[in-house]
Amino acid sequence: MVRAITKYDEIGGKQTRHALQLMAQTFVRTKELIDAEWASLICRTRYGSSRLKRMKMKAEHVVPLSKQGLAILSELKDTSAREADIFPGRNRDKPISNNTLLFSLYRLGYKGKMTGHGFRAVASTILTKPGSGLT
């Protein structure tokens, strides 16, 4: 599936590919990703840390970003520098929808097999598996 996502530009938009790639890397809720704004992005490259800052239940929710994630955000910034949303939709007042990601997975052949929330569910299953050292 990850290989298929890297080729999504052949059948869909680059922004959608980037969103799917970040879903696979960060395991955030779909709504958290699509509602992310540039103002919430904090990068501390000197220390090698970067994060998306979101509020969850009135508490800061920090999502670490990999070098690959930063590269994706850098490319997105070049194409949407004037937008508040990291993933602006066709209506520039709103971000892309949950269905954008869901239907992109359908187009990749994963209908009935994967959803936006599925990235999070897979990560949770793997990371809480007995013997993973993370439980």
Per-residue pLDDT of 72-129, as tens digits, reads 998 988 876 567 888 998 887 889 999 999 999 999 999 999 999 999 999 888 888 8
- DSSP-derived 3-state class of residue 62: strand
Of the candidates 94, 88, 35, 95, the residue with the CA atom closest to the CA atom of residue 61: 35
Tell me, what's the pLDDT at 80?
67
Tell me, what's the pLDDT at 47?
36
Tell me, what's the pLDDT at 45?
45
H runs (alpha helix) in the chain: 2-6, 14-26, 30-34, 67-79, 98-107, 116-127
pTM above 0.75, yes or no: yes
Tell me, what's the pLDDT at 42?
65
- DSSP-derived 3-state class of residue 67: helix
Tell me, what's the pLDDT at 63?
78
Supply the mean pLDDT for the chain.
83
Per-residue pLDDT of 39-68, as tens digits, reads 777 655 433 444 555 555 556 667 788 889
Of the candidates 36, 30, 37, 22, the residue with the CA atom closest to the CA atom of residue 99: 30
